[in-house]
Amino acid sequence: MNIKTFILGLCISLHSYAQQKQPNVLFILADDLGINALHCYGNDIVETPNIDKLYAAGMHFTNGYSNDPTCAPSRASIMTGQYAPRTNIYRVVNRYKTAKNAEEMRKYMKYIPPPTNHLYSKDNGLDPANFNIAQAFRSNGYSTAAFGKWHLGKGTSSMHEIGFDEAIETQKHYKFTSHPQQSDYDDQTYNADYCTAKGIDFIKRSVQEDKPFFLYMPYYLVHAPFHPKKKYVDYFSKKLKGTDYDHKHVIEVVSMLKSLDDSVGELLKALNDLGLEENTLIVFTSDNGHYKVKGNNLFALPYKGNKGDPWEGGIRVPYIFKWKGKIAPNTVSDLPTIHVDLYPTFAELMDLKISKDHILDGKSLKNILLGTQETTEEEPLIWFYTNYGGFNSATKQFKSKWTNIIQENGYKLMEDVDSGVFALYDLKKDPLETKNIFKKKKDIAKDLQEKLENWKNETKLPAPTPNPEYVQKQHL
């Protein structure tokens, strides 16, 4: 064999190896990013050019949902592919116990919600025995890493203990905390910049070690406190001066969004520079809907509600998938999808072997993403939102309370557990949830009620426990 033949054969072998190598996954999770908080999803005052490019290069979903209007339950569902009764993470905190007016609150709660794991107590967050996404990738030969917000527990439930080969949990923006404690940053370091640098370093090392990687980037942006970079505040203050959006908090939020977009751009550039675009699936979404910004609903529009509400504005989030050469660019799906769908989607796309004992509540989006199936039968989307909060002492009303929800074929049934009252909305005709059609669509309502009961039984949702402090006479 001459040298030319040998080199040609070697090149063919290396090319074949590269083609067959397991694909990488970059999973980017924003914090409190609503459906209307990106330019590509329709917000003209926001500047997110890098996320817009990601959007144009892949498939986005117009009916994407979080599993909960708040942080921890949705993140638990992402990591496990399971609804709250299986993770036992229903709430961030028990506000009916910790709020200043908690004693008064409890008088107006007919039921006590199911107990939830306490995320701030050691070893009592996400159960490490639950076969989470990180464990699935690691057991299938992947290097795994995570940098950013965790919010699923401490001790054995910590991010660096639960399935990632390496992980650093961070909180806040400037003067951020890190766990395990790191010494390679100071008070002037921006959290997102730090995490992005760590993520890129991990990608480079994975390439050097010739291992496929799963990189989870759960940014703290755009969660409060509002700590944007000064250069972006100056820029947007000038741009928005004299407009309807010339407001301190709006300017701070769009400035933080610009920083999030910068970080996404740096990650995408690193993949491109390393020649990894065609062998890396990139997923971008958020943990829940957007918070209200000083009297307006700008980043959740046109939908009703915000973070903490079971209305569409509190649970609708962007979903973007890019995989060059696999997912067609500029494609869109209106299939309703929810956080529990991510785990089975990763598993099927990457051909991961999953523990036979691990239950997945979601559906794989593989056929939709790869274009092998244009439509698919909808599975019901379920929410068990057990958070009592925002009690108003004057009106004796809660901003949020225990609400069970099922959505199928565009119909959204909401059960107010305290009152036993149901509401039904046709989201295809009434996406802003203005008309309760429960009495007009009795057959549909009955069908959804039965399916909701089946899901309660299947997931073993605890039955409501009567509240001994509830004062019945105050409700007559």
pLDDT tens digit sequence for 357-377: 999 999 999 999 999 876 667
User: Mean pLDDT, to the nearest integer, of 83-110?
Assistant: 94
CB 319 within 8 A of CB 341: no
Residue that the structure tokens 């785990």 belong to:
343
The Cβ of residue 434 has, within 10 Å, a number of other Cβ atoms equal to 8
Residue 159 pLDDT level (bands cut at 50, 70, 90): very high
Integer Cα distance of 428 and 314 in angstroms: 18
Confidence label for 219 from pLDDT (cuts 50, 70 and 90): very high
pLDDT bracket for residue 15 (50, 70, 90): very low
Q: Tell me the domain boundaries of the chain.
A: 20-376, 383-475
Q: 7 pLDDT band (50/70/90 cuts)?
A: very low
Q: Distance (Å, rounded) from C-alpha 317 to C-alpha 470?
A: 36
Four-point Cα dihedral 247, 250, 251, 254, nearest 10: -160
Render pLDDT for 250-259 as a digit per residue (tens, 0 to 9).
999 999 999 9
Phi-psi domain of 217 (left: phi exceeds 0; alpha: psi -120 through 50; beta: other): beta
pLDDT at 378: 78
Residue listed under structure tokens 């910590």? 158
Domain 383-475, what fold? Arylsulfatase, C-terminal domain (3.30.1120)
Q: What does the pLDDT read at residue 20?
A: 44
Domain at 20-376: CATH code? 3.40.720.10
pLDDT at 14: 39
